Structure 1
Amino acid sequence: MLISIAEIEVRYAETDQMGVVYHANYLVWCEIGRTKIIEEMGFKYAEMEQDGIMSPVVNVQFSYKYPAKYGETVVVRTWVEAYNSVKVTYGYEIVNQEGKVCVTGTSEHVCVMKNSFRPISIKRKFPRLHEAYEKVKKK
């Protein structure tokens, strides 16, 4: 199983008046993690979109455990939790510099054709991507 690591410095604009990261910003950080793991698998989202494939989010589940704060560096760990040729579930863990887990969660994505928004079989349409997902997914 591949676990991608992305370091993020918490910016002031990502926090509220208490200096705590606003909850929706964790979604942005997870997108950074997804983009990185896809690149580590040998692909790029931008190229997939040029090929007419989109990967919309269909479900997100987060558990907030400890606040990340302005001035900290956090680590976003991302992996492929599940994959079935149509749907991909990514897992996340965001940890602060003290090693405290701030957020855990998952996001589910379905690959669709850009022009019709109809789901596709990654296995049939992009066999190389299918093989990459099969290779890195959680066993």
Structure 2
Amino acid sequence: MGKPAKNKEVKPKRNRITFETKAKIIKLKDEGKRNSELAKMFGYSTSTIATIYNAKSKAIVQRAVEECVPQGVCVFKTEYRPTVLNDLDTILYEWFKRNEGRKVALTMTALQCKARSIFAILMDPAHGIF
């Protein structure tokens, strides 16, 4: 017969570490705190703390680039995602769930048109100003 199923542990979801958190870690490490102390304090592994500290010059450059580039613009496609796209995903998902409950036939074309119209609204300079 087949083998019994193994109890698989659920991997924790990966979260992006903000620049402010990285700056605090780098500052405390420069003051002499140990990696293990910082790991307990911030809730990361010691290897993550070491990686942040070893890549501190990259973090400083990243912050400088973020301050120079307008918000919502993608600088490095592999590392940054415009905040507008996160808003677009959320709004589009809510729209999709509402229409799914109505049993409306949703085609790829309809979904693309709705995504484009939401994107146009989000990119409007007056968006969010009442």
Which has the higher relative contact order, 1 or 2, with Cα contacts under 8 A spaced 6 or more apart? 1
In terms of Rg, which structure is larger? 2
Name whichever structure is richer in strand by fraction: 1
Common fold by TM > 0.5: no
Q: How would you bin the TM-score normalised by the shorter chain?
A: under 0.3
Name whichever structure is richer in helix by fraction: 2
- TM-score (normalised: structure 2): 0.27
